[in-house]
A and B are shown apart, each in its own frame.
Chain A
Amino acid sequence: MKKLSKNKELKAFFYLLPALLIIVTFKIYPIIKSFTMAFYTDFDYLSGTVYERGLSNFQYVLTDSDFYLALKNTFFFVLGVVPLSIIISLGFALLLNSNIKCKNFFRSIYFLPFITSTVALSTIWRWIFNGEYGLANYLIGLFGIDKINWLTNPNLTIPILVLFTVWKYMGYKIIIFLAGLQNIDEKYYLSAKIDGANKWEIFKNITFPLLSPTLSFISITSIIDAFKIFDQVFVLYSGSTGPLKSGLTIVYYIFNKFYRHWQFSIAATAAFILFIIILIFTVIQLKISKRKTNY
């Protein structure tokens, strides 16, 4: 009997092996490698020989003013994008969940940006915000407002990135929220209605608390995604970090160190710090959401 189950385990292991090999080679190994690389202070990148390890990379990164700028920009971006995208997509999900006409049509429309490539979308947004002939300037021109140089004004970089990101990921979040909303038994609404609750009270007392598992999932993944922002900046500002580095984010900093300055171990150190930041936020969120959803 014991031998049989051993055999079974072995069989399962062999079935899992191919996928495991791929994951280990392309995911696990690079993660470990980049973690350890953060501690290389003197090494030969091509041969892979390490002469010295230490904490001087951390010292470099943590005293680099560019890194603090990247941190600041990223935090502002996260602060803007997470609440805004949750509120907007929850609002649309609630609308789509009520009995309106052409539900599926709207659902598909909202989902389109999510499945379109960021590069293509950024090109469109670059046109929208073009200082000379863009749609945004045309629209505000109708109200008699002067042209704004959207993409060259450093104060507008983060707001534009927030807007773009909220819009792009809205469809995905709406779908997830809709799934969560459809999981709520209609009987609760009927019961609350008979008990005299109006629409807002039903949302506050029934829908919102029952949606909290979905809500915490969305907010955790949104925060993680927002901290990793890179490609939107890269494409929208043609491979630069925007005017006066106003679009320099942590991942952009890592990218610059790695590809542009060839400071591999500095890049690895910054990545390590980003990992720690995301980890802290995720753990805090999990703790909060666990305390809130105990039914």
Chain B
Amino acid sequence: MKIILENLNKDFNEVKAVNNLNIEIKDGELVSLLGPSGCGKSTTLFLIAGLHKPTSGNIYFDDELMNNIEPEDRGIGMVFQNYALYPHMSVLKNIMFPLKMQKINKKESEKLAIEMAELTKIEDLLDRKPSQLSGGQQQRVAIARALVKKPKLLLLDEPLSNLDARLRIEMREEIKRIQKEVKITTVFVTHDQEEAMSISDKILLMKDGIYQQYDTPKNMYTNPKNKFVAEFLGNPPINFIEGRFNKDTKVIRLGNTGLTIDGKDEEIDKEILSIGIRPEDLIITDKEKANFEITIKSLQTMGKEIYVMGDIGENKDIVLVTSWDHNLVVGEKVPIHIRKFHVF
């Protein structure tokens, strides 16, 4: 099912939680709503669910206007942040609950519920109570319950935030697998950029209720529309250096360091710029190819890679990511090549 949000606004008293949002979610896509806390992503999800009513603007499912349709009539399944599994019901009863509300007979609904349990790999846990399940298992039950009535849209509100790091990676793969298997349009709220990038077909990044960028993870990472998008995606975060552009020579001077980079391939129409360079686009190289040198201030070993914090002069620090191949020592000067940079 296709979803269209048109000039969508939601005010809570004076606060504009969602501010003039326009996006289209295609059928079968998995879209993440991403942003820092308080950016309006959960509000947007609740608006789509119908649990909040928009202050103004329209929500369409396919071509049908949804504004005045009650949540239970929208054909949605929802997984809440703490799963909201009914504690007094067994796993099977939990999964069967939406069918019971649809007055589907017991035999039929039990069959459907077991099918769903098999899809989410919890068929062995059907007799347990939610309190006897681990976080990951509860998550699976919640997804099974959301999907059992065959909704046309699956909504997930921060579904992974209660899980530990390893389980989170496992469950996000699972969500992706189940979503592809059922081929259901899915909207997923998260504040974790890595989570969003790893499973989404598209990401909507928001800040203070305002649309920032709506794009594929790859495009968003490689072509961020603004400084906020560039900074929000990627770990360690992107380096920003103030730059001055000389229109005649097409050369960008970095801060007060005296270092310059070539700007002739860029479309630049202002003099003072912010240059963003991703840590992985700073490459340790030979002296001839180098754009500049840095003095290593500290090294952080992360496992597969090393974060290097270096000074490019005038106390301007940057972070770069490199492999173990180089024998780096604190205090050493290393030549650096800039593979790619962004101008804001």
Contact = CB atoms under 8 A, between A and B. Distances in A.
B87 A191 contact: no
Q: Is the interface of A mostly helix, strand, loop or mixed?
A: helix
B100 to A, nearest CB: 8
Nearest to B79: A191
B89 to A, nearest CB: 8
Contact of A194 (B77, B81, B129): B77
Nearest to B90: A295
B72 A206 contact: no
B84 A193 contact: no
B101 A196 contact: yes
How extensive is the interface on chain B, given as a class?
20 to 34
Interface of B: 49, 51, 71-72, 76-78, 80-82, 84, 86-88, 97-98, 100-102, 129-131, 145, 149
Interface residues on A, range: 20 to 34
Nearest to A210: B88
Most buried by B among A195, A197, A294: A195
B72 A295 contact: no
Interface stretch (A78-86, A114-122, A182-190, A250-258): A182-190
Contacts of B86: 188, 192, 205-206, 210
A196 to B, nearest CB: 4
A196 B98 CA distance: 7
A209 interface: yes
Nearest to A188: B84
Contacts of B130: 295
B84 A209 contact: no
A195 to B, nearest CB: 4
A74 to B, nearest CB: 34
A281 to B, nearest CB: 25
B78 A191 contact: yes
A191 B138 CA distance: 15
Given A188-B86, A295-B88, 19 more contacts: A187-B80, A187-B82, A191-B80, A191-B84, A192-B86, A194-B71, A194-B76, A194-B78, A195-B72, A195-B98, A196-B98, A196-B102, A197-B97, A197-B101, A205-B100, A210-B86, A210-B87, A294-B129, A295-B131
Contacts of B71: 193-194
